[in-house]
């Protein structure tokens, strides 16, 4: 893939220039301009732009030229082509789960932790799980901006009617395999339709979020070493798949539900709980839902919430410009300080100084699920996994039959293990 990207880089150069917002702006006297690529559109894009504007207003010595590209394969393809083709931006945003696949190819530069500290960014500021995911072979390859978590949203009014709201306003009775199912039935009695919304059909990402979050709660890990069979606990995976299958009964949850249907059902009160990412918070607020949220219920004993992290990376520069590189560090530090604003979109800021602030604690429901970043788990780490990867589609192909058609959980897990083992026999890009 890397070799092909080099060949195509020149042909797409003009397209990159057209994607920029002010990419050719002239620097003011004494100003250092950097190019920042990101994948935020819609509401997130507006908030991210506001953060950049505030950063530039407070530090006019640095000018930021943003380039906004469609997230997913188009974004990552163009970014990797820019890096290997000698047209890399000074700074870029990507997902933490994709970093491991990029490091071996030499398309990223590591961060200097001492220089980061000079700009006010230290390891102590970031939840350990996020910092560890950004660290590979002892070097820091990414600086986390946030943790975007797979949460359980709930309608406070419906939860109260179902007897599931505790004195502190938190959801109760959902932290065990049996308790969650019973809570779903109680909620279904109130809504008259179903208890829980979970849209997953045709969506490998949604199935990955559920599976790997639950699997981590069993206390097990997945180790993926190239050329070797996957190291995992098959019985624990079967337990997770079987448990989800048990409540896909059209009462606790509608078995045949895609992503838009689940969002719509929760937005209109047809279900009182909904598994989804924190990025849907604004959708639910706009719909007028009396919404609250919590990390993934602790079903199997070990607190764990699946998610991913938007991170800042340094695309590889053939000839590093010291002034622009320092400006990139300064920009990242300033953006982390502005991440209280970023939480408006539902994301959990990675900067603990922000999440521990009184201003953040006053935000509801954001502060009610902030602990998810301290119990963060991700896709298993390998060059072929992560947000937007083809592998998430393979997860979906393995699991959907078990949840939709009630086929064998054991067979589903074996298909999944087979996909992992096959991918591990494929030589990673270099």
Q: Does residue 157 surpass a pLDDT of 90?
A: yes
Q: Where are the beta strands (DSSP E) in 295-355?
A: 305-308, 310-315, 348-349
Query: Which residues sit opposite 171 in a β-bridge?
Result: 165
Q: Phi/psi zone of residue 222: left (φ > 0), alpha (ψ -120 to 50 degrees), beta?
A: beta
Cβ atoms of 381 and 141 within 8 Å: the answer is no
Q: Evaluate if residue 136 carries a pLDDT over 90.
A: yes
- Number of Cβ atoms within 10 Å of the Cβ of 73: 11
Question: Residue 26 and residue 376: Cα distance in Å, rounded?
Answer: 42
pLDDT band, very low/low/confident/very high, at 428 (cuts 50, 70, 90): confident
Q: CATH 3.40.190.10 occupies which residues in the chain?
A: 2-144+310-349, 149-306+381-424
Give SS3 for 342: helix
Provide CATH code, domain 2-144+310-349.
3.40.190.10
Mapped onto helix, strand or coil, the DSSP state of residue 361 is helix
Residues contacting 57, CB < 8 A, separation 6+:
none
pLDDT per residue as tens digits for the range 353-386: 999 999 999 999 999 999 999 999 999 999 999 9
DSSP single-letter state for residue 110? P
Q: What is the DSSP letter of 150?
A: E
> Beta strand pairing status for 310-315 and 143-144?
antiparallel
What are the start-end ranges of the E strands in 287-345? 291-294, 305-308, 310-315
Q: Can you tell me the distance from the alpha carbon of 351 to that of 334, in angstroms, rounded to the nearest whole number? A: 11
What's the CATH number for 149-306+381-424? 3.40.190.10
Q: Indicate the SS3 state at residue 136.
A: strand
Mean pLDDT, the chain, as a whole number?
92
CA–CA gap between residue 413 and residue 410 (Å, rounded): 5
- Residue 350, helix vs strand vs coil: coil
Q: How confident is the model at residue 27 (pLDDT cuts 50, 70, 90)?
A: low
Return phi, psi of residue 176, to 5°: -165, 160
N-terminal to C-terminal alpha carbon distance within the chain: 9
For residue 143, the SS3 value is strand
pLDDT at site 21? 37
Whether residue 165 contacts residue 172, with contact meaning beta carbons closer than 8 Å, is answered with yes
Model confidence at 25, in pLDDT bands (50, 70, 90)?
low
Taking the C-alpha atoms of residue 118 and residue 121, their distance in angstroms, rounded to an integer, is 7
**Strand positions, DSSP E, 347-414:** 348-349, 376-377
Residue 318, pLDDT > 90, answer no
pTM for this model (two decimals): 0.91
Model confidence band, residue 177 (pLDDT cutoffs 50, 70, 90): very high
Residue 19 pLDDT > 80: no
> pLDDT tens digits for 230-287?
999 999 999 999 999 999 999 999 999 999 999 999 999 999 999 999 999 999 999 9
* Other Cβ atoms closer than 10 A to 198: 29
């Amino acid at each position: 893939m890397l070799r092909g990207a080099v060949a195509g880089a020149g042909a797409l150069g003009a397209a990159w220039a057209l994607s920029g917002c002010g990419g050719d702006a002239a620097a003011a006297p004494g100003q250092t301009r950097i190019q920042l690529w990101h994948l935020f559109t819609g509401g997130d894009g507006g908030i991210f732009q506001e953060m950049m504007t505030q950063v530039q207003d407070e530090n006019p010595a640095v000018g930021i030229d943003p380039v906004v590209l469609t997230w997913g394969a188009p974004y990552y393809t163009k970014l990797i082509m820019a890096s290997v083709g000698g047209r890399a931006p000074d700074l870029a945003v990507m997902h933490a789960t994709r970093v491991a696949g990029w490091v071996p190819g030499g398309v990223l530069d590591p961060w200097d932790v001492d220089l980061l500290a000079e700009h006010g960014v230290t390891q102590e500021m970031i939840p350990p799980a996020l910092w560890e995911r950004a660290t590979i072979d002892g070097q820091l390859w990414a600086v986390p901006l946030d943790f975007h978590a797979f949460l359980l949203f709930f309608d406070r009014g419906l939860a109260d009617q179902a007897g599931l709201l505790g004195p502190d306003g938190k959801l109760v009775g959902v932290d065990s395999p049996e308790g969650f199912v019973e809570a779903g039935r109680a909620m279904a009695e109130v809504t008259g339709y179903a208890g829980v919304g979970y849209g997953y059909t045709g969506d490998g990402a949604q199935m990955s979020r559920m599976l790997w979050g639950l699997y981590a709660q069993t206390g097990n890990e997945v180790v993926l070493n190239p050329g070797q069979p996957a190291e995992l606990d098959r019985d624990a995976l079967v337990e997770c798949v079987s448990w989800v299958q048990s409540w896909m009964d059209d009462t606790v949850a509608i078995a045949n539900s895609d992503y838009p249907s689940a969002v719509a059902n929760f937005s209109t009160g047809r279900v009182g709980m909904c598994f989804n990412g924190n990025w849907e918070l604004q959708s639910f607020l706009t719909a007028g839902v009396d919404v609250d949220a919590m990390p993934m219920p602790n079903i199997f004993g070990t607190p764990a919430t699946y998610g991913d992290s938007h991170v800042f990376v340094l695309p590889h520069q053939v000839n590093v410009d010291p002034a622009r590189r320092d400006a990139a560090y300064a920009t990242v530090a300033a953006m982390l300080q502005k991440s209280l604003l970023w939480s408006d979109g539902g994301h959990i800021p990675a900067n603990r100084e922000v999440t521990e602030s009184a201003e953040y604690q006053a935000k509801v429901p954001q502060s009610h699920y902030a602990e998810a970043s301290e119990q963060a788990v991700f896709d298993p780490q390998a060059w072929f996994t992560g947000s937007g990867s083809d592998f998430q589609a393979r997860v979906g192909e393995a699991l959907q039959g078990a949840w939709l058609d009630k086929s064998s959980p054991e067979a589903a897990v074996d298909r999944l293990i087979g996909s992992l083992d096959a991918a591990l026999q494929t030589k990673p890009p270099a």
